[in-house]
Amino acid sequence: MSKTLQTSHLSLNMIDEALVESFLNYLIVECGLSENTIKGYKGDLSNFSNYLQGEGIKRFQDLRAKMIVNFIEKEKQRGLSENSISRSLVTIKMLYKYMIMEGKISVNPMSSVNTLKLQKHLPEVLHYKAVEEILRAPDSNDKLGIRDKAILELMYATGARVSEVASIRVSWINLDYGYIRCQGKGSKQRIVPMGAEASKSIRRYLQEVRPFLVKIEVDEPLLFLSRTGKKLRRENIWELVKKYAVKAGIRSNISPHTLRHSFATHLLEGGADLRSVQEMLGHSNISTTQIYTHVDRKYLKSIHQRFHPRA
């Protein structure tokens, strides 16, 4: 079956619909982009089309470079995040490169966008000693403390998202081999190693605590339960991470995602390759994982300054 995009399916409603449909078909057929990605691009172009029409522009070909600056400012005023604006610019740039390739325009008005730098926030990352302090914070003599220790160890050992941790089933863990199955975005599953410490903490939780938390066992029992035997909500896990960060004396704004960022960064600092980290994080696109290379470069620069004789 031909891998093409149906106009009626996407409900195109913007200037130069034929051009946009041709461009999106190109992204599917030639670039192999997924339907979800295409929908995102279509949304970006629809938003950009609305902006151009508000400026009295009726064709993408009539864009003037200075309009991009105004477009970015308006997007900021609408409260869009810098990542969302940056993604929109990538989509728009791809459209105009396509138009150059197809001979629709001879000069690319988006070429000057290369000089527009949006501020990018690097993820919050903890020093490994700070992570150790958090992992030691739960009370090992308290049942919920034992559970919380297992949750924290698992999060740092696997880089799992908080929603993934809350949804892990007992059958998804293999303590003998030290692996766990995570179900990420789009119900995509992946197998992630979790190491000896996380395995030990989870084993203790399963033996000493979980049997006391269970109220009604089901066919696919969840690994982590609340004190009432119910599924832990994401907010519950967020709260316990904050709680133990405070107990460990860490003042920065810590969240479950901080442990995920720290997991990825510490792997890269230890010499792991980017593709392996991408697989463990469950990123469908390696460009998402590449944010951690910026953090890694900071680490490499500090090593260079410490050890190079002419640094």
Judgement on whether residues 41 and 111 belong to the same structural domain of the protein? yes
| Active site residue ranges | 161, 185, 257, 260, 283, 292
At 308 the pLDDT is 59
89, 115, 141 - which closes a domain: 115
Q: Is the dihedral of CA 261, 262, 263, 268 positive or negative?
A: positive
For every residue of 103-172, DSSP letters joined together read TS-SS-TTGGGGG-----PPPP---HHHHHHHHH-S-TTSHHHHHHHHHHHHHHHH---HHHHHH-BGGG
- DSSP code, position 187: G
Residue 59 in any domain: the answer is: yes
Judgement on whether residues 96 and 185 belong to the same structural domain of the protein? no
Judgement on whether residues 111 and 139 belong to the same structural domain of the protein? no
Q: Strands 189-193, 173-174: parallel, antiparallel or unpaired by DSSP?
A: unpaired
At 144 the pLDDT is 97
User: How many Cβ atoms from other residues are within 10 Å of residue 152's Cβ?
Assistant: 26
- Alpha carbons 243 and 118: distance in angstroms, whole number: 34
115, 143, 173 - which closes a domain: 115
pLDDT values of the chain reduced to their tens digit, one per residue, 311 residues? 444 444 334 445 678 888 998 898 888 766 667 777 888 899 999 999 999 988 888 888 888 878 888 888 888 888 887 778 888 888 999 999 899 888 888 888 887 775 445 445 556 789 989 999 999 999 999 999 999 999 999 999 999 988 899 999 999 999 998 999 998 766 788 999 998 999 999 999 999 999 999 988 777 899 999 999 999 988 889 889 989 999 999 877 788 888 988 998 888 888 888 888 888 888 877 777 777 766 556 655 666 577 656 65
φ and ψ at 209, to 5 degrees? -120, -50
- The answer to whether the CB of 149 falls within 8 A of the CB of 138 is yes
Q: Is the dihedral of CA 253, 254, 255, 257 positive or negative?
A: positive
- The answer to whether the CB of 240 falls within 8 A of the CB of 153 is no
Q: How far is CA 160 from each of CA 103, 115, 167, 241, 300, rounded to the nearest angstrom?
A: 46, 36, 11, 14, 25
- Alpha carbons 259 and 284: distance in angstroms, whole number: 20
- Alpha carbons 245 and 254: distance in angstroms, whole number: 7
82, 115, 148 - which closes a domain: 115
Domain tally, the chain: 2
Residue 1 in any domain: the answer is: no
- Alpha carbons 170 and 167: distance in angstroms, whole number: 10
pTM of the model: 0.60
Query: Which domain does 57 fall in, by range?
Result: 7-115
Which CATH number characterizes residue 222's domain?
1.10.443.10
Q: Strands 173-174, 179-183: parallel, antiparallel or unpaired by DSSP?
A: antiparallel
Q: Give the 3-state secondary structure of residue 66.
A: helix
Query: In 3D, which of 175, 181, 212 has the Cα closest to residue 197?
Result: 175
- Alpha carbons 304 and 288: distance in angstroms, whole number: 26
At 244 the pLDDT is 96
Residue 87 in any domain: the answer is: yes
Residue 62 in any domain: the answer is: yes
How far is C-alpha 258 from the chain's CA centre? 12
How are the residues of the chain apportioned to helix, strand and coil, as percentages rounded to the nearest 5? 60, 5, 35
- The answer to whether the CB of 10 falls within 8 A of the CB of 39 is yes
Judgement on whether residues 149 and 187 belong to the same structural domain of the protein? yes
Judgement on whether residues 228 and 99 belong to the same structural domain of the protein? no
